[in-house]
Amino acid sequence: MRLRYLVLTLLCLWPLHARAGYVLTADIQPLLQELVDSGILKQSIPRGFDIDDVLIQKTRIIMKFKPDCTLDLERNPGHHPPWFIEKLRCSDISITRESRQGLLFLGLLLDTSFYRTPWKFVSTTKHVYEPWTSDFVPLWFSLFDAATGLFILLMALGVVLYGVSLKKSPE
Amino acid sequence: MKDMPTHKKWQVILTIISLLVITAGSILFMDRLSGTSPDLCQDTIEDNAMVGQCLRYNACPFKGIGTSFGRFHQGLAWHNTRVLMAYTGMSIHQVFLVVRFLNALGLIVLVIVAWRIFGGIEAALGLVLTAYIMVHMEFTPWILNNSNILFFLGVLAVAVGLLVVRIRRPWVVLVFAALMALIGDTHIAATPMVLSLLWVVWLAEPKPGLVLYAGLVWSLVLFVLSPGTWITNISNIGTLTRGTPGAMGNIWDTTSVPTGTLALLAGLAAWSTNRKKRAQNKALATLIALVLPELLVFIIAGMLTGIDTTDKYLIQTAPAIGLLGGVAIVRLTGSVGERVFHKSMRAGFLIAPVAVSAAGMILWLWSVTSLANARAKDPMFLSRLTIRETAVLTRYLRSNGWTRADLLAGLKAPLYLNLIEAVRPGLAKGPGTQKTAYVIRIKKGVLPDTLPRNWHLLAKKQNMILYFVDEQGVLDWHGFQVCTRSCQKTGFVRSKMSFGPTYTMQGFPAPAKDLHQALILKIPIRPAANQAMRREVYMPQVPGWCSGRIVGIEGCKARITDKGRTATYTCLPGQQGRLVVRWSLGSPQCGAWDYYGLPPFFVEASPGNAGLIKRALLSYPQRLE
């Protein structure tokens, strides 16, 4: 009895395993440091920078930093790299757009980790802006979710059918 | 069947007949209440944008859509189901059909379960009461959004909840907890049902371990279904904002709150009448547990936050309220009917199928006028076109050479933003001309049957007519100014946001809940060079639309009347003027949900057309001053 209980629980919660990779959080600092290391950013990001806002659109990601820096990434569907830096405007940071290697790295980074790692953006002022900045996940993720919901609905309907097929209580 | 006694045979036959009647009644009832084409509303447009983006760019929503209070998200289960349906090739009307059918199925399931657990009369009364609540509350099944499916899910919650108490097996608890999580992930307003879950499980087996298990399964399933949504929501608990002071209506004016309270009181009284019937009493207590927490949370949250209360957020409890009322009535009246009929064995087997069939017939014959009125009660009923009407309009515009640019500047309709979103993809790109037209939806009989030749009848269904009014526009919507703190030339620009409207107006304040600002538009008047012309301006006073004032008409001879709501002006040939209109954004005349970041709707037309359009608009609900 207890074993069945456990198996059923695990069966119901198996999608959690698939989700494990999606709930990791990461700070923006390592990402930007990687951009610096890969040669995309000429200079290192000043320590103590502050993320002001992140705007995610269909084809663009715009990250605004304080004071007065904007990193603008454009989506390039169907191409590789899928994301490229449109512009980075900042008083003491500049960008080398010709850095193909760096762009490829960024593309791969965003294409994979953007889906897999909804970064947690925590600024130095301890203000959480958008804990889950990744607004988008791939189609299979959505279909999987819908299938999970339908599975629950079918189980509920099954229980209803089973329940009404039982004999009436003696009362 | 052969060896069955005759009365048993008849019992089976009558049961089958009653189920057929209930099925037919439920389907007809939901069809008449919902209509055949969903209304085009902002929720559906946003859902469609999400679905389109998901399939086109492989970028699907991770945390549902924003709620109207705080920085919370909701409805991912619904959005993902919409994605799955679109992925399998279903059209929006087919999705609507499925939802409509599920809601009808909900009524059927409710009757069957109630019949098995409580009895035929209770089931019949419960069904009729549930249908009554559906019709009179602010449930809007004619809109395709996540609220619409909640009725069906609410019925499943009742059915499984009752079986949890009856069967008392951990696996049923597991399914119940998963179902309650699915309901909570479908609409954030249904998350308080977790309290019902815990209470029902306690009723089934008063073991803290089992209750904890149910709560754990609920949390985990909720998280598995939508991790992004719930982590975001937990992070944003502090952002719960207060509503506009005074916005909260009287909760006793709703249908669900007083009906739910009465049902609860009757249920409690019934519960205490006969404690010997333990199983029946437990089932009754289950219904109370399914109603009370959600109702209390709704009332308390409304009082604490001041957010305008609409009882559509209680739709998931409507089946439990209806059934509780039905069971309580029968218990309190001592089941008079059953006692009378049970005296005769022959008649005893008749009572349940007859009662259920009667309930089915009531649904079947439910006054069509009453169902139409339920829809007409929706303040946006006349303003919104159905998706089918929108398709007709798109075809008409396309065949008359309207381009996307014409649509943006020249089409005037109350819920203009929705139309732009829905019609624009169906039109060709191209330069704009000076086309102007009004799209007006009115009840039959409001205007005379014979109308000017430039009034084109686009669609006609039951008592609704959709007109397209061609108008010789003189306002230059390509070169007007917007003034907030200072004035600047404005025009349509593509929105930067991934969801919400595709277009916004340059220099217009962004729509926001706490926006309090004046919006002034200065629109050039460009009359024909060779003839004088007389025009009329009319500012409608319809709830849900921004009502403004005509401030002035410069350069032409003008007369402004009715506190700036109407004006007439005459321009000489070639004489250029300027119309100045003003709205107070954030005021009762132009609330947070009435302004979309686009020029609010008003009428500027030749006297003949303006008079007829005004007459049509005066048949809409009017804003009380």
Residue type, B168: R
Residues A100 and A152 in one domain: no
In angstroms, rounded to a whole number, what is the distance separating the alpha carbons of residues A146 and B88? 12
Residues A110 and A159 in one domain: no
CB-based contacts of B257, cutoff 8 Å, min separation 6:
B251, B295, B298, B299, B311, B314
Sorting pLDDT into bands at 50, 70 and 90, what band is A124? Answer: very low
Peptide bond into B208 cis (omega under 30): no
Q: Is A11 contained in some domain?
A: no
Rounded to 5°, the CA angle B399-B402-B404 comes to 130
Q: Is A169 contained in some domain?
A: no
Residues A28 and A109 in one domain: yes
Residues 70-99 of A with CB under 8 A from B: 75, 77
CB nearest to A168's CB, from B54, B60, B116: B116
Could B235 and A16 be called an inter-chain contact, meaning their C-beta atoms sit closer than 8 Å? no
Question: What confidence score (pLDDT) does residue A11 get?
Answer: 53
Question: What confidence score (pLDDT) does residue A100 get?
Answer: 28
Q: With left for phi above 0 and alpha for psi between -120 and 50, is residue B70 left, alpha or beta?
A: left
Cβ neighbours around B266 below 10 Å, total? 18
Interface test with B, best of A10, A160, A166 (most B CBs within 10 A): A160
The answer on pLDDT for A122 being more than 90 is no
Q: Is A16 contained in some domain?
A: no
Cβ–Cβ under 8 Å, residues B224 and A13: yes
The answer on pLDDT for B479 being more than 70 is yes
- Reported in sequence order, the residue ranges of chain A that DSSP labels E, i.e. its strands, are 50-56, 60-66, 69-75, 83-90, 136-137
pLDDT tens by residue, B105-146 = 999 999 999 999 998 999 999 999 999 999 999 899 999 999
What is the 3-state composition of chain A as percent helix, strand, coil, each rounded to the nearest 5? 45, 20, 35
The answer on pLDDT for A27 being more than 90 is no
Sorting pLDDT into bands at 50, 70 and 90, what band is B233? Answer: confident
Residues A28 and A70 in one domain: yes
Cβ–Cβ under 8 Å, residues A71 and A60: no
B481-483 vs B492-494, strand pairing mode:
unpaired
Residues A82 and A149 in one domain: no
Sorting pLDDT into bands at 50, 70 and 90, what band is A169? Answer: low
Residues 115-134 of A with CB under 8 A from B: 118, 128, 130-132, 134
pLDDT tens by residue, A35-60 = 445 444 433 333 344 444 555 454 55
User: Nearest 5°: phi and psi at B13?
Assistant: -60, -45
In angstroms, rounded to a whole number, what is the distance separating the alpha carbons of residues A90 and A50? 13
pLDDT tens by residue, B141-170 = 999 999 999 999 999 999 999 999 998 888
Could A152 and B221 be called an inter-chain contact, meaning their C-beta atoms sit closer than 8 Å? yes
In angstroms, rounded to a whole number, what is the distance separating the alpha carbons of residues B131 and B26? 9
Residues A29 and A95 in one domain: yes
CB nearest to B81's CB, from A77, A149, A157: A149
Cβ neighbours around A43 below 10 Å, total? 11
Residues A30 and A109 in one domain: yes
Question: Whats the size of chain B, residue-wise?
Answer: 625
Residues A111 and A158 in one domain: no
Q: For the packed helices B170-186 and B150-167, what is the interaxial angle rounded to 10 degrees?
A: 160
The answer on pLDDT for B389 being more than 60 is yes
Could A142 and B79 be called an inter-chain contact, meaning their C-beta atoms sit closer than 8 Å? yes
Position with higher pLDDT, A115 vs B462: B462
Peptide bond into B543 cis (omega under 30): no
Sorting pLDDT into bands at 50, 70 and 90, what band is B248? Answer: low
Q: What letter would DSSP give residue B502?
A: S
Whether residue A7 lies within 8 A of chain B, CB to CB, comes out as: no
Least confident of B21-30, B63-72, B80-89: B63-72
Q: How far is A102 from chain B (nearest CA, A)?
A: 24
Q: Is A144 contained in some domain?
A: yes
Cβ neighbours around B204 below 10 Å, total? 25
Q: Which residue of A has its CA nearest to B178?
A: A152
The answer on pLDDT for B24 being more than 80 is yes
CB nearest to A134's CB, from B62, B167, B170: B62
What is the pTM for the complete model shown?
0.80
The boundaries of the domain holding residue A83 are 24-132
CB-based contacts of A45, cutoff 8 Å, min separation 6:
A29, A32, A33, A36, A93
Among A105, A121, A123, A152, smallest CA distance to A11 is for A152
Q: Is A110 contained in some domain?
A: yes
CB-based contacts of B552, cutoff 8 Å, min separation 6:
B558, B560, B579, B580
Cβ–Cβ under 8 Å, residues B419 and B439: yes
Burial class (CB in 10 A: 0-12, 13-18, 19+), B107: buried
Instruction: Collect all residues of chain A within an 8 Å Cβ-Cβ radius of residue B227.
Output: 19, 22-23
Per the structure, how many domains does chain A have?
A: 2
Question: What confidence score (pLDDT) does residue A123 get?
Answer: 27
Whether residue A22 lies within 8 A of chain B, CB to CB, comes out as: yes
3-class state of residue B195 by DSSP: helix
Q: Is A99 contained in some domain?
A: yes
Sheet holding B566-571, edge to edge: B557-561, B566-571, B533-538, B603-605
Among A50, A70, A69, smallest CA distance to A60 is for A70
Among B331, B200, B317, B326, smallest CA distance to B269 is for B331
pLDDT over 90 for what percent of chain B? 49
Could B57 and A171 be called an inter-chain contact, meaning their C-beta atoms sit closer than 8 Å? no
Could A163 and B54 be called an inter-chain contact, meaning their C-beta atoms sit closer than 8 Å? no
Question: What confidence score (pLDDT) does residue B521 get?
Answer: 94
Cβ–Cβ under 8 Å, residues A86 and A74: yes
The answer on pLDDT for A31 being more than 90 is no
- Reported in sequence order, the residue ranges of B72-129 that DSSP labels E, i.e. its strands, are 73-74
- Reported in sequence order, the residue ranges of B264-362 that DSSP labels E, i.e. its strands, are none
Position with higher pLDDT, A26 vs B625: B625
Q: Is A10 contained in some domain?
A: no
Residues A109 and A97 in one domain: yes
Per-residue buried b or exposed e for B21-53, using 16+ beta carbons within 10 Å of the residue's own CB:
bbbebbbbbbebbbbebbbbbbbbbbbbbbbeb
Q: What letter would DSSP give residue A95?
A: B
Cβ–Cβ under 8 Å, residues A41 and A35: yes
3-class state of residue B193 by DSSP: helix
- Reported in sequence order, the residue ranges of B268-311 that DSSP labels E, i.e. its strands, are none
**Which residues sit opposite B412 in a β-bridge?**
B438
ipTM, 2 dp: 0.86
Q: How far is CA B170 from the centre of its chain?
A: 36
Residues A109 and A150 in one domain: no
pLDDT tens by residue, B282-293 = 999 999 999 999
User: SS3 sequence, B343-383?
Assistant: CCHHHHHHHHHHHHHHHHHHHHCCCHHHHHHHHHCCCCCCC
What is the 3-state composition of chain B as percent helix, strand, coil, each rounded to the nearest 5? 55, 15, 30
How many Cα neighbours within 13 Å face the side chain of B198? 16
CB nearest to B63's CB, from A19, A23, A132: A132
The answer on pLDDT for B477 being more than 50 is yes
Q: Which residue of B has its CA nearest to A18?
A: B224
Residues A143 and A72 in one domain: no
Cβ–Cβ under 8 Å, residues B510 and B496: no
CB-based contacts of A2, cutoff 8 Å, min separation 6:
none
Residues A70 and A111 in one domain: yes
Could A134 and B228 be called an inter-chain contact, meaning their C-beta atoms sit closer than 8 Å? yes
Q: Is A4 contained in some domain?
A: no
In angstroms, rounded to a whole number, what is the distance separating the alpha carbons of residues B87 and B97? 17
Location of structure tokens 């003003």: B582
Question: What confidence score (pLDDT) does residue A136 get?
Answer: 62
Location of structure tokens 């904002």: B241
Mean pLDDT of all residues belonging to chain B: 87
For the segment B461-476, the average pLDDT, to the nearest whole number, is 87
What are the angstrom distances between the C-alpha of B220 and each of A97, B211, B392, B394? 45, 14, 46, 45
Interface test with B, best of A135, A144, A166 (most B CBs within 10 A): A135
The answer on pLDDT for B182 being more than 90 is yes
Per-residue buried b or exposed e for B427-443, using 16+ beta carbons within 10 Å of the residue's own CB:
beeeebeebbbbbbbbb
